[in-house]
Amino acid sequence: MKIAILGAMQEEITPILSNLNDYQTIQYAQNEFYFAKFKEHELVIAYSKIGKVNSALTAALMIEKFMCDVVLFTGVAGSLNPDLHIGDILYATSTAQHDLDITAFGHPHGFVPGINVFENTDDKLNQIANLVANKRNIQIKSGIIVSGDQFICDNDKKSWIKNTFNADAVEMEGASVAQVCAMLGVPFFMLRVISDEANGGAEMDFNQFLEKSSEISANFLLGMIQEL
């Protein structure tokens, strides 16, 4: 199987690369793609750069140019749920784009013609995540993860996003990748480790816990690949 592993930032894929014995690098579309073997699989690894446009482009290239069969997203997210704390592992059951807004025309937030407000992730991959968690005696949670081209640190904005989408966590890339995968018929899984809490100082928490949270997410993802 050819597996795409995607993160938004270099810090989110560095733990993956450090676990590989050898990899090749190809430069394309002003980005770098890393190619490696892991167990019986071929891996294509990249960080997209921050934001929905960058992540959608990178995901599409991994599928269409590099012919990946499945897309796994690793990285961090901010909690919107008071029961989610820094270091908690969360996989997305569905995603939405919180910054899409044509409500002036009577549509709900997150909707534009031709797409769904919510895109579901792949059930089989989610089951594998639970299997890995059980084998490692790790607690894993699931929920709705929403994306937008904004770093959310305002508590009023957090509350609005949570209430509008019934969301558990927020970040800046996953929903656009989910949309690409849905349109191209490729299974998609997204794992996020909480880097900042719902009621905390998001920017301070994020900077402090980015590296550790990214490492937790990446190591868990490698465990999943061993089960594929």
Query: Where do runs of H (alpha helix) occur along 85-199?
Result: 123-135, 155-165, 174-184
Residue 4: CB partners within 8 Å, gap ≥ 6? Answer: 43, 44, 45, 46, 59, 62, 63, 66, 68, 70, 71, 72
Handedness of CA 61, 66, 67, 70 (dihedral sign): negative
Q: How is residue 55 written in tokens?
A: 């992540």
Answer whether 28's CB lies under 8 Å from 6's CB: no
| DSSP 8-state secondary structure symbol assigned to residue 127 | H
With both helix axes pointing from N to C terminus, report the angle between 10-18 and 202-227 in degrees, rounded to the nearest 10: 40
3-state secondary structure of 218: helix
Phi, psi of 128 (to 5 degrees): -65, -40
What is the token pair recorded at 8?
Answer: 């938004």
Catalytic residues: 12, 196
